[in-house]
A and B are shown apart, each in its own frame.
Chain A
């Protein structure tokens, strides 16, 4: 446990010093301030920020995470030469990435929006949702990053794999859903589509956020079905738990490889 704490502290300090992270925070900050200034009122700016959260956050988490692990390879080897458990090193790496990335999100997106929410209290609830989902997505894609970096030996291929993971979740998966929908259009598909949505963290995050912000609530029968599912406390808990599972699975898979990996 002390091992983990020390590794974690060292990692967090290390990542926080990285110029990438500063740039990422500034980018989020800039996007949020600009959207608030030119995108209209608080809730409408939040709607635009949904896209930032759904696209940029996973991309940065997975790419930055993967590259960081490759860069930290010598440090990892050094650590492993010490009497430190592999579990502590691995979790330290994960936490060392996920915590600073989440802090960047909270500062960059949360900061300006809290100022906005102080003037317009209706922003608090969507803001809380946005940040919660954002942090969960960061966890998920940091876990993917670790998994990829451990599994793929070569750096450039690992980078490519990280991009592929992101592309698969944002674009390819939705294309497949659409394919399924058009193939089986004669069947009632609300329930299967919900299941499919649950299996992709980005889709799940998107639907949860849309139902918090958007007109989706007004979208007739299907919209009502979805709103019933996600609109309730139980549905939200299920969605958030599922996102945690999405983080846990690659994290665990990565750990299995990491434990046996010959550095």
Chain B
């Protein structure tokens, strides 16, 4: 027992003397390091981390969690790294998680593996925490029986980076989170959303990849959000969106890639967004712009091989397009300034037909429909007259 306590270090190993993490935390003093040696552990109860310690797994020790939250952190300055936590069982009354952070600040959760658990990392009322390099693989169960991989509620200044999450309900879920940064995460094959945030102002999302999620990414009711360099791909299905924005204002959506989604980018009630430098490729509907999304600026975006580039449900247009590249543009550039001399009308007549009458989709790429579209482009009667790109790019940027 004494040997295990030398110099502020507590060693946990299956052979003892300290053979459970719970006992080790109880023994440790603030500032101690608990080293967990490789092995298979089963804690009978939730491990309560109520003092500032570093818990470090060496050689990937495995913990079987069972019918409870595994780690409950209630102290500030706790670091948890290198653990493998498995099988936190689902519950319909309790948000059980592999690692639960409650009212803490400056915690670090790094390089853990969480497998088949209800919630992965669950934080409420935390601030200045760092969640990085974790791998969270969910149970792949139904929406009701799976929690979120990374879940934060009412928190601030959280950094979530380089995590890989899959097979949960939502990959990353934020609610009432402010001033946080999510970067370089991979979120895929989640039941519902790859990323889901609401009421989370002033957050940044950079270089994340959201692919093959049940409903893509949906974000709502937030201001001053920056999303840049992300990839939204292969979110397929009736209600699947590469990125759905509802009531998102004054944000920036730049340099993202939207590839092979049913709907690439969907804007509802979203105002004053700067949408630039994005690439929309091979989507069903690249951009759906609803009438209540106003004063958004679209410039320098690339539209390639989408079935429909832009659709809208309104005849008027209050968003502005300028200097985008459209592969369907048929104009010319006599003065060689790189911009077409004839405005481009990205809304096809056929998209309006499909809007009102979805089975008409079967006529996609029919000669008849192409003729109708051409006629409408020459003399717009039904498509929104104001929704034009007055200066479409002639050459594809980059």
Q: Which residues of A pack against B, CB within 8 Å?
A: 44, 47, 50-51, 54-55, 170-172, 174-175, 177-178, 181-182, 185, 189-190, 193-194, 197, 203, 206-207, 210, 214-224, 226
Contact = CB atoms under 8 A, between A and B. Distances in A.
Interface string B284-295: 100000000000
10 contacts: A51-B365, A171-B368, A171-B371, A174-B363, A174-B366, A178-B360, A182-B357, A193-B359, A210-B365, A215-B306
B326 to A, nearest CB: 16
Nearest to B369: A174
Interface size class of B (residues with CB under 8 A): 20 to 34
A185 B357 contact: yes
Interface of B, helix, strand, loop or mixed by DSSP = loop
B363 A177 contact: yes
Contacts of A177: 362-363
B366 A222 contact: no
Nearest to A220: B238
B360 A181 contact: yes
Contacts of A207: 362
A224 B262 CA distance: 11
Interface of A, helix, strand, loop or mixed by DSSP = helix
A206 B365 contact: yes
B261 interface: yes
- Specify which of A194, A207, A215, A217 lies most central, judged by the most chain B CB atoms within 10 Å of its CB: A215
B381 to A, nearest CB: 16
Contacts of B365: 50-51, 206, 210, 214
Given A207-B362, A214-B364, A220-B284, 19 more contacts: A47-B305, A55-B367, A170-B368, A174-B368, A175-B368, A193-B359, A193-B362, A197-B362, A203-B366, A214-B365, A215-B305, A215-B307, A216-B284, A216-B307, A216-B364, A221-B358, A222-B361, A223-B262, A226-B362
B183 interface: no
Interface string B227-262: 000000000111000000000000000000000111
A259 to B, nearest CB: 36
Contacts of B301: none
- Specify which of B236, B307, B353, B360 lies most central, judged by the most chain A CB atoms within 10 Å of its CB: B360
Contacts of A50: 365
Contacts, number: 91
A235 to B, nearest CB: 14
A189 B359 CA distance: 6
Given A218-B284, A220-B238, A223-B284, A171 B359 contact: no
Contacts of B236: 217-218
Contacts of B262: 218-220, 223
B359 A219 contact: no
Contacts of B360: 178, 181
A170 B361 CA distance: 16
A184 to B, nearest CB: 10
B195 to A, nearest CB: 20
Given A171-B368, A220-B237, A223-B284, A215 B362 contact: no
- Specify which of A44, A221, A226 lies most central, judged by the most chain B CB atoms within 10 Å of its CB: A221
A219 B356 CA distance: 15
B355 to A, nearest CB: 11
A203 to B, nearest CB: 7
B299 to A, nearest CB: 24
B149 interface: no
B238 A224 contact: yes
A229 to B, nearest CB: 10
A170 B367 contact: yes
Contacts of B371: 171
Contacts of A210: 364-365
Nearest to B356: A185
B85 interface: no
Given A197-B362, A206-B366, A210-B365, A181 B357 contact: yes
A219 B307 contact: yes
A218 B261 contact: yes
Contacts of A181: 357, 359-360
Given A174-B367, A206-B365, A214-B307, A220 B358 contact: yes
A221 B368 contact: no
Contacts of A178: 353, 360, 363, 368-369
